[in-house]
Amino acid sequence: MHQCFRASILVPVLALALAGCAAVGPTYQRPGVDTPVAFKEGQGAWVPATPADTLERGPWWALFGDPVLGALAERVAVDNQTVAQAVAGYAQARALTAQQRASLFPQVNLNLGANRRGAGGDTPSSSSYQVSIGGSWEPDVWGRLGRGVDAARAGEQASAADLAAARLSAQGELAADYFGLRGLDAQRSLLTETIAGYQRNLQITQNRYSAGIVARTDVLQAQTALANAQADALTLERQRAQLEHAIAVLVGVAPASFSLAASPAWAIDLPAVPVTVPSTLLQRRPDIAAAERRVASANEQIGIAQAAYYPSLALSGSAGLGAATIGELFNASSLVWSLGASLAQAIFNGGLTGARVEAARASAEAAAARYRQTVLAAFEAVEDQLVASRVLQQQLSLREQASQAATLVEQQVLNRYTAGQVSYTEVITAQTTALNARRALVQQQSDRQTAAVALIQVLGGGWSGL
């Protein structure tokens, strides 16, 4: 009776004790970042960061209107092994959150046992049977367990952002490689036409040499131009093969099992970059969100470390039955129960707790610094790509003018050579200049698409919804 009385008052006493306690540790506040009012290379104003990486971005690659690129991008999201690694990391983070959440609840165990004992001689053997159910619970008096759950949840959110970043990075790399490959296809088509023209020029020069009109040096120069163009075509073939191999790995297959048909008549469809790019789009960058969530997780670790300054409380209880035979096991007279509570407090540990608190604070400060650096690097990347998009667009018209002018000069010099007015050296110079101008124009177009992809990436996945 006395034991029952003590047990009956134990729970309310502990409840009062728990009610008077509060979680220890600092309340999380997102680190401040010294940011500009607007982009230097744009007109979008910056607002305080509120990670919005979970917002739907849509298939940003659809902006380019290329169905082949769209199909490859979908394959990257499913089959890319770097993305698959990030998927597994996210699943692991979710499991860790579930593990931490389980610590908030009581642990209940069921035990069953049977023993048979005996001794030598005439001593008879005996049997015993036991069945019991027991539980233990550590109330979260100082918030240590709750902060552990919050830290794990922040880590899970950071892992989800890492997954989004892995997808964005892999798909961005795919688009850059794809546009590079298509640019090489265009250059190969250009070189094929140029080689055909050089072959005709060589035949004309050989005929003129056979007729004694020109010197053999003209034939040698024509042969040199043709051989150089053919060598350049082989270089493009090698570069295209390497990009095709890279795309194969990005979509999760061996290069030997993947091929991408050439598209010499590939049409360039460049998405228009909006004049005003709001810096709120940076909120969707998954790397910024991941860095911010890791600051939150590190902040929770401070409270977890500080909780070690206070005693930990544990409650336990059990009820069981024991008997010599199974038939007697469930008699009421065989019931045995117990309730217990314990407090544990470290008296001296050589400053271990204080060192852990300081280490947690330092880790949180480092995480905050990484977050600020990530935000600043994001501003830098956006500024770089905004100026790249603007300058490349201006350069394109100049490249077009240069290509048209060089083509006219090439034709006029070739006509003058046929009329015997200039040497073949001038023809070679004009042809080389024209070819370089045409290839530079194609490269400029490819660079603009690559810059558009890079801008989409640094803005966290496009600018839809502006």
Which pLDDT value is given to residue 3? 45
216: domain range?
A: 33-115+127-344+354-458
One-letter identity of residue 238: R
Which residue type occupies 304? I
pLDDT for residue 8? 43
* pLDDT of 22 strictly over 70: no
In a domain, 164, yes or no: yes
- Asked whether the predicted pLDDT for residue 440 surpasses 50, the reply is yes
Over residues 349-369, the mean pLDDT reads 94
Q: pLDDT digits over 79-108, tens only?
A: 999 999 999 999 999 999 999 999 889 999
What is the per-residue pLDDT across 227-274, written as a single tens digit (0 to 9) for each?
Answer: 999 999 999 999 999 999 999 999 999 999 999 998 876 777 777 665
pTM of the model: 0.82
Instruction: Please indicate, yes or no, if residue 442 is contained in any of the structural domains.
Output: yes
| Total tally of structural domains belonging to the chain | 1
Strand-by-strand arrangement of the 107-117 sheet: 107-117, 126-137, 312-323, 335-344
Neighbours of 232 (CB within 10 A): 17
Res. 277 pLDDT band, cuts 50 70 90? low
Determine, yes or no, domain membership for 283.
yes
Residue 355's pLDDT band (cuts 50, 70, 90): very high
Pair of tokens at residue 170: 């892999």
| Residue 282 confidence (pLDDT) above 90 | no
More confident of the two residues 249 and 130: 249
Instruction: Flag whether 18 is in a domain.
Output: no
Average pLDDT, the chain: 84
Residue 55 pLDDT greater than 50, yes or no: no
Report yes or no on 220 lying in a domain.
Answer: yes
H/E element, 314: strand 312-323
162-166, 277-281, 283-287: least confident range: 277-281
Residue 4 lies in a domain: no
Query: Which pLDDT belongs to residue 322?
Result: 76
Assess if residue 93 is contained within a domain: yes
Q: What CATH number is attached to the domain comprising 42? A: 1.20.1600.10
Over range 62-72, report the average pLDDT. Answer: 90
6 vs 160: which has the higher pLDDT = 160
Average pLDDT (351-373) is: 94
Rounded distance, CA 210 to CA 349, Å?
101
The mean per-residue pLDDT over the stretch 46-51 comes to 43
How far separated are the first and last CA of the chain, in Å rounded? Answer: 74
> Which residues are bridge partners to 135 per DSSP?
108, 317
Please state, in angstroms and rounded to a whole number, the distance separating the CA atoms of residues 296 and 27. 10
What count of other Cβ atoms lies within 10 Å of the Cβ of residue 361? 17
Q: Domain for residue 71, yes or no?
A: yes
